[in-house]
Amino acid sequence: MPGYFRKKIFLCVLAAIFILAVVNWSTFMLLSRTNVGIILNIHDMSDLYGHRVDRPHPTPSQAKESRKIIVTGGAGFIGSHLVDRLMKQGHFVTVLDNFFTGNRLNVEQWVGHPNFQIIEHDISRSILLEADEIYHLASPASPPNYMLNPIQTMKANILGTYNLLGLAKRTKAKFLLASTSEVYGDPEEHPQSETYWGHVNPNGPRSCYDESKRAAESLAYAYHHKEGVQVRVARIFNTYGPRMQLNDGRVVSNFILQALSNQDISIYGDGTYTRSFQYISDLVDGLIGLMQSNVTKPVNLGNPNEFTINQLARLIRKLSNSTSRIVYRPPAVDDPKRRQPVISRAKSQLNWSPKVELVEGLQLTIKAFRAELQNEANFHRLKALGIMYAQRE
């Protein structure tokens, strides 16, 4: 009998441990994906696996050069990689994000660092802060996200830009606008240089993003010419890498997710449309280089190597060791047929050009996606196991 009770107690304790683990993990995931809390500044932060995160502190020489930098959308894909670089350079970084598409997990390694703060804020409302530099990246950027909420997209790109330019004017901060290759629309000129005015449908399903970015550029240059604000405009072409949302609907993330799941890889259209894909570290190099330059004209930041969607699908399938079939769906409305940047301005004035080839970048991205899918699978297995033990009791 005593042995029976010991076994019963052991099973109860084991079940309780699993349930507590599931509750704690679920709470953490909920906080990371919902709008809870205004400013996160928690000390003694560990990574998702409980290990201490080594976070560099600025050297004395770095401290002298440290700047107060605001990054809007800093919990997003591009923004979080930019934040990593700025923090490692020893700057004081404030992230503004409303977490519509951003994720706290992208910047969790910096929470608690004395040089870092993250503020939950919608940039369509003004805010009082001090800054030496402002990187304005906040906006839904994938077609499914901005088509889902076109009004929020336009508010971020127009009202948000207006508010941040006002902040830059007051603080005399340099202002960098993350614009987009979408300002060229479905281009009639190929490849696209910064002097091309574009071919944009003002009423199409993508217009909320395309036209609001064009308006944001106009606002930036109005403040530059009339108010003396130092502006930089980066026209960003297709960018990929770790921390992309698994289900954000863009072609690279779609293909990788489908390939790793051995599902059909869906191509919309006949696959002959082209894109140019740059790896995230190359873009971060370009953004920082542009901010530190004296270039006020728009600058294309993209990889000039052009690939068809068919080529991309086959390459991702090969690198993923996938058994997926490639299938063809009806083409998307207003999808640009060709996209390729001319980067001579970035080369000559920023000394910038992309370094990461597509194969290398995709290998790194596939590895990150595979790890994230495994983490999600482990979480769901743990959750199911905890529920199973709870039901047994």
pLDDT at 36: 32
Number of domains forming the structure of the chain: 1
User: 147 lies in a domain?
Assistant: yes
User: 366 lies in a domain?
Assistant: yes
pTM: 0.82
Q: Which of 209, 223, 279, 389 is catalytic?
A: 209
pLDDT at 28: 42
pLDDT at 47: 37
Sequential DSSP letters for 241-265: -TT--TTS--HHHHHHHHHHTTPPE
**Sequence-separated (6 or more) residues with CB below 8 Å from residue 84:** 110
Q: What is the torsional sign of CA 242, 245, 246, 250?
A: negative
User: 23 lies in a domain?
Assistant: no
Q: Domain limits at 335?
A: 68-385
Query: Active-site residue 240, yes or no?
Result: no
pLDDT at 11: 59
User: 56 lies in a domain?
Assistant: no
> Where does the chain show beta strands of DSSP type E?
39-40, 68-72, 92-97, 116-120, 133-136, 174-180, 231-236, 239-240, 265-268, 274-276, 278-279, 299-301, 306-308, 326-329
What's the CA gap between 343 and 26, in Å, rounded? Answer: 45
User: 48 lies in a domain?
Assistant: no
User: 28 lies in a domain?
Assistant: no
pLDDT at 108: 96
Place of tokens 């309780």: 16
pLDDT at 40: 40
Task: Look up residue 10 and give its two tokens.
Answer: 């052991």
User: 229 lies in a domain?
Assistant: yes
Number of H-type helices and E-type strands within the chain? 12, 14
How confident is the prediction along the chain (393 residues), in pLDDT tens digits per residue?
555 556 555 556 556 555 555 445 444 444 443 333 334 433 333 333 233 344 555 554 455 589 999 999 999 999 999 999 999 999 999 999 999 999 999 999 999 999 999 999 999 999 999 999 999 999 988 888 888 899 999 999 999 999 999 999 999 999 999 999 999 999 999 999 999 999 998 988 889 989 999 999 999 999 999 999 999 999 999 999 999 998 888 999 999 999 999 999 999 999 999 999 999 999 999 999 999 999 999 999 999 999 999 999 999 999 999 999 999 999 988 788 999 999 999 999 999 999 999 999 999 999 999 999 998 877 666 656 555 444 444
pLDDT at 369: 97
CB-based contact 50:28 (threshold 8 Å): no
What's the CA gap between 70 and 344, in Å, rounded? Answer: 29
**Sequence-separated (6 or more) residues with CB below 8 Å from residue 66:** 58, 90, 91, 92, 115
User: 136 lies in a domain?
Assistant: yes
CATH of the domain at 155: 3.40.50.720
pLDDT at 383: 58
